Amino acid sequence: MDPSGTELSRAYFEQVVEPLVRRRRPEMPLAAARLGAGSEVLGLDDTMSRDHDWGLRLDLLVPADAVAEVEAHLTQSLPVSFAGHPTRFATTWDPVVRHRVQVQTARELAVARLGVDPTAGLTLDDWLSLTGQAVLEVTGGEVFADVAGELTGIRRRLEWYPDDLWRHVVATDWARLAQELPFVGRTGDRGDDLGSRVVAARLVGIAMHLGHLLERQWPPYAKWLGTSFARLPRASAAAGPLEAALAADHWRERESGLVDALRVLSRVQADVKLPTVDDPVEPFWDRPYQGVREATVSLLADSIRDPDVRSLPRGVGSAEQWSDNVDVLVDASLRRLR
């Protein structure tokens, strides 16, 4: 069986890259990992993953004063191939055929992926500018070595939101659900089945995001969101009702699936010791549709103690909660222009 991308990167580091570097700088503290973009970073690569940007890729993190020297040494000394794979190849973002050992400092890697500097301490705006995918590109991959411990320290700081900010983003997802849940029925009742399906699909995505938040797991971007959701220990129990909502041919069954899923997520919320209500769903005014109970949001908001977090606008939340624009989600500089 062919090795996974991570297994290949580890062997490449241990058998080729590390010996070359150690001959030149035997005592230099370094870290090595497979981080950044690529399905192999999350352990999700398969045969199809190999058609582009897959291969002998490695992140080699060294002190700032050694970056240029190590880069030049590897450019000159790396073999043509390893384990049947070329060491130099073009990628979709860089047509130049070159080696793909990314030599930089741990801080540079983190800033490039996050758009903020986690070594300097993260502000509220910093935290809210992060996307789950950006954080996973720093924390999700396997670390092969970390002599100085700097990379490990960065990853530890990014394990999860501060507690009050966690409550804020969870409340935001409930607020987003509250905004549109009644529209699944209202659009369907008006004969707009397509509109009802669109609203329901959007709410399913929010519910899956909420499930990750409740489990304190950073959600990946859309391609892997469902795969990641299915692996959540508790929130994944909502997958069946969410699938039923998407498959339903009538708005009433669509709404019923969503309601069942939200009740599952509310129970998960109680399990993780966040405040919640007995039932997060109630009739929407005197109309024949369901809505999210206002207390579902207000109980969380009222439990926040940090005055700066309490002053944040309700229902806006983090970058991936206020925009689904792909350019914004992948470009940290755009996320900080809100």
In this predicted structure, the answer to whether residue 53 has a pLDDT above a threshold of 80 is no
Please give the angle made by the CA atoms of 255, 257 and 259, to the nearest 5 degrees: 70
Q: How many Å apart are CA 86 and CA 80, to the nearest integer? A: 6
Amino acid of residue 33: A
Question: Could you tell me the pLDDT band of residue 251, with boundaries at 50, 70 and 90?
Answer: very high
- 8 Å CB contact between 61 and 105: yes
What pLDDT is attached to residue 267? 98
Count the Cβ atoms, other than its own, within 10 Å of residue 145. Answer: 17
12, 6, 285, 299: which is closest to 168 by C-alpha? 299
Type of residue numbered 72 = A
* pLDDT (tens digit per residue) in 270-279: 999 999 999 9
Is the separation of the CB atoms in 187 and 199 below 8 Å?
yes
pLDDT band for position 338 (cuts 50, 70, 90)? very low
Q: How many CB atoms lie within 10 A of CB 37?
A: 17
How large is the C-alpha radius of gyration of the chain? 23
What whole-number distance in Å separates Cα of residue 27 and Cα of residue 72?
Answer: 18
Distance CA 40, CA 35 (A): 9
Determine what percent of the chain is predicted with pLDDT higher than 70. Answer: 98
Identify whether the C-beta of residue 210 lies closer than 8 Å to the C-beta of residue 202.
Answer: no
pLDDT value at position 336? 64
Q: In the numeric block, which tokens belong to residue 324?
A: 């689904």
Contact 232, 209 (CB under 8 A): no
The helix-helix angle for 193-214 and 163-189 (nearest 10°) equals 160
Q: 318: Cβ–Cβ under 8 A, 6 or more apart, which residues?
A: 127, 128, 129, 130, 131, 169, 172
Whose CA is closest to 242, among 203, 212, 279? 203
- pLDDT confidence of residue 157: 96
* Mean pLDDT, range 41-69, rounded to an integer: 86
Task: Average the pLDDT over 65-71 and give the result.
Answer: 97
Residue of 257, 261, 258 lying closest to 238 (CA atoms): 261
Per-residue exposure over 52-75, b if at least 16 CB sit within 10 Å of its own CB, e if not: ebbbbbbbbbbeeebbeebbebbe
Closest listed residue to residue 34, CA positions, set 67, 64, 59, 61: 59
Tell me: the pLDDT tens digits for 98-108? Answer: 999 999 999 99
Helix axes of 222-230 and 193-214: crossing angle, nearest 10 degrees: 60
Q: Residue 63 phi/psi, 5° resolution?
A: -60, 155
pLDDT tens for 300-328 read: 999 999 999 999 999 999 999 988 888 87
Q: Which residues pair with 108 in a beta bridge?
A: none
Type and span of the H or E element at 255? helix 251-271
